[in-house]
């Protein structure tokens, strides 16, 4: 059995949904289909999820959002009419949305989760109806009925272990299951959404739950590329990569997956194939547990913006027992998570996501570090990018760091920080945001300049 997930661009219009139907029909092993809410039909369009957020927020603020509701319904109506689906499906979707809007609003987080999740839920109903009309034995299945139990954390749900005892039963279902992505239900019956990449997470959970032979993730690109095509012209395609490589690259800004999205599938050792809905005959990118390493130790280069550095200096810091623990305790007290901690004997830097910091919080952190840790100097710098070089082959290859730093020197990019994990799967280079694209281009030329167009 296979689980096939189709992203927003793959289900954005009637034309795209016809392609989805053809893909499902050509392989009878595709038994579970996970769908997103309709995405953008073109660059000037709006995602249905964005329309739903606008609808929910205005409804919370004013109690009235009829025109916003009609905008959402019009997207579904246009798809249904072009697919020639019975008009009852739009009545069903409208009834569902009005019922969600009429629910108790005392908890805005729960209310917004319900509104946002309707995008995937109603699209799954529509797509199931269309598949049926083409002669496929297709059934819409709600996550609650499937037993997809998650923690009660609106916007940050985590699958509960007992969910897998229920999901395994889906193996016995006849025909094709059309399953909405992005949300599950708490043990108390409350709808709760996943974090970013929610539909990818749903697909990975279902693949793990039914012990699928393959999790196919259909998107709008032929494969995963070695660098961002918006930064590097025609980067090489990656044909095979490991789970660890994918997670490292996703963390560093690869847009194919959010870095946590595939973990349920990874833990069960289920291979993942990234394929193109618009070109399904291509082999795509296989993400697997292990792979052979050929001539290039590096498989990809990525960069992500939006980092800040808390710089702390104190003479004889290295001899002070507990200094690091107390420094991190201050961050914990503020509810902050950190990304990297490069350090020297008398100084250390804590790198964290910039969006976590408010101006008030920054002043408080600096004051506490100065007064409680008696630091000689403390300041915060913003607007950093983390550029990541990733590859399992780096572990046994001499000179990767030297090549990277030399390439950046030739490009006149100043390196503010270097960090390499003990696994040596990735090398992180901190640079100023304005230098990030130039850094990626220089590193790509260094490691892939002579490539033939693919990485096997």
- Judge contact between 10 and 16, C-beta under 8 A: yes
214 pLDDT more than 70: yes
> Taking all residues of the chain, what is their mean pLDDT, rounded to a whole number?
91
What are the distances in angstroms from CA 142 to CA 35, 162, 262? 12, 17, 21
- 88-102 pLDDT, tens digit each: 999 999 999 999 999
- 109-132 pLDDT, tens digit each: 899 999 999 999 999 999 999 999
Q: Which fold has domain 2-220?
A: Carbamate kinase (3.40.1160)
Q: What pTM did the predictor assign? A: 0.85
Q: Which two tokens stand for residue 386?
A: 């983390």
300-455 in CATH: which number?
3.30.2130.10
- 141-154 pLDDT, tens digit each: 999 999 999 999 88
225 is in an annotated binding site: yes
Q: Is 272 helix (H, G, I), strand (E, B) or coil?
A: strand
Q: Which of 84, 76, 176 is nearest to 126 (CA)?
A: 76
197 pLDDT more than 90: no
282 is in an annotated binding site: no
What's residue 454's pLDDT?
62
Q: Look at 157-171, 238-252, 338-352, 359-373 and tell me which has the smallest mean pLDDT.
A: 238-252
What's residue 204's pLDDT?
94
What's residue 295's pLDDT?
66
Q: Can you spell out the DSSP letters for 107-172?
A: SHHHHHHHHHHHHHHHHHHHHHHHHHHTT--EEE--HHHHT-BB-S-TT---B-TTHHHHHGGGGG
Q: Which two tokens stand for residue 206?
A: 């279902």
**Average pLDDT score over residue span 445-450:** 86
**Average pLDDT score over residue span 315-333:** 94
278 pLDDT more than 90: yes
pLDDT band with cut points at 50, 70 and 90 for residue 255: low
6 is in an annotated binding site: yes
109 is in an annotated binding site: no
Query: 242: which residues sit within 8 A by CB, 6+ positions away?
Result: 287, 288, 289, 290, 291, 392
What's residue 118's pLDDT?
96
- 160-190 pLDDT, tens digit each: 999 999 999 999 999 999 999 999 999 999 9
What are the domain boundaries of the chain?
A: 2-220, 300-455
242 is in an annotated binding site: no
5 is in an annotated binding site: yes
- 27-58 pLDDT, tens digit each: 999 999 999 999 999 989 999 999 999 999 99
134 is in an annotated binding site: no
Q: Which of 345, 343, 352, 346 is nearest to 310 (CA)?
A: 352
Q: Look at 98-107, 289-298, 311-320, 399-408 and tell me which has the smallest mean pLDDT.
A: 289-298
120 is in an annotated binding site: yes
């Amino acid at each position: 059995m296979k689980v096939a997930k189709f992203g927003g661009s793959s289900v954005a219009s009637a034309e795209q949904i016809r392609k989805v139907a053809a893909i499902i029909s050509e392989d009878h092993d595709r038994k579970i289909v996970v769908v997103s809410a309709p995405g953008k039909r073109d660059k000037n369009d709006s995602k249905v999820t964005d329309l739903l957020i606008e609808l929910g927020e205005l409804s919370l603020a004013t109690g009235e959002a009829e025109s916003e509701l009609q905008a959402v319904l019009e997207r579904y109506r246009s798809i249904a009419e072009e697919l020639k689906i019975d008009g009852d499906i739009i009545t069903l979707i409208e009834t569902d949305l009005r019922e969600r809007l009429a629910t108790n609003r005392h908890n805005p987080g729960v209310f917004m989760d319900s509104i946002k999740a309707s995008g995937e839920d109603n699209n799954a109903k529509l797509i199931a109806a269309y598949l049926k009309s083409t002669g496929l034995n297709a059934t819409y299945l709600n996550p609650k009925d499937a037993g997809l139990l998650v923690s009660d954390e609106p916007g940050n749900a985590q699958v509960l272990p007992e969910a897998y005892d229920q999901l395994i039963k889906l193996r016995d279902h006849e025909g094709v299951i059309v399953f909405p992505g992005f949300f599950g239900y708490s043990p108390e019956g409350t709808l709760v959404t996943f974090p970013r990449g929610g539909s990818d997470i749903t697909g990975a959970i279902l693949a793990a739950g039914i012990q699928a032979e393959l999790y196919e993730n259909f998107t709008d690109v032929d494969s995963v590329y070695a660098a961002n095509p918006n930064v590097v012209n025609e980067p090489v395609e990656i044909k095979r990569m490991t789970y660890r490589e994918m997670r490292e690259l996703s963390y560093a800004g690869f847009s194919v997956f959010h870095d946590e999205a595939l973990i349920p599938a990874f833990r069960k050792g289920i291979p993942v194939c990234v394929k193109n809905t618009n070109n399904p005959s291509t082999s795509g990118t296989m993400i697997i547990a292990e792979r052979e390493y050929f001539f290039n130790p590096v498989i990809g280069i990525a960069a992500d913006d939006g980092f800040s550095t808390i710089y702390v200096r104190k003479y004889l810091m290295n001899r002070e027992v507990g200094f690091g623990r107390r420094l991190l305790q201050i961050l914990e007290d503020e509810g902050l998570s950190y990304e990297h901690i490069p350090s020297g004997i008398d100084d250390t830097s804590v790198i964290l996501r910039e969006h976590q910091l408010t101006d008030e919080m920054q002043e408080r952190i600096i004051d506490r570090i100065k007064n409680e840790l008696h630091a000689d100097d403390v300041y915060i710098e913003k607007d950093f990018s983390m550029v990541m070089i990733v590859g399992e082959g780096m572990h046994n290859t001499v000179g990767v760091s030297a090549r990277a730093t030399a390439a950046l020197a030739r490009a006149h990019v100043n390196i503010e920080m270097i960090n390499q994990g003990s696994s040596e799967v990735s090398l992180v280079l901190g640079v100023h945001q304005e230098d990030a694209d130039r850094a990626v281009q220089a590193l790509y030329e260094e490691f892939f300049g002579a490539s033939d167009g693919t990485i096997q």
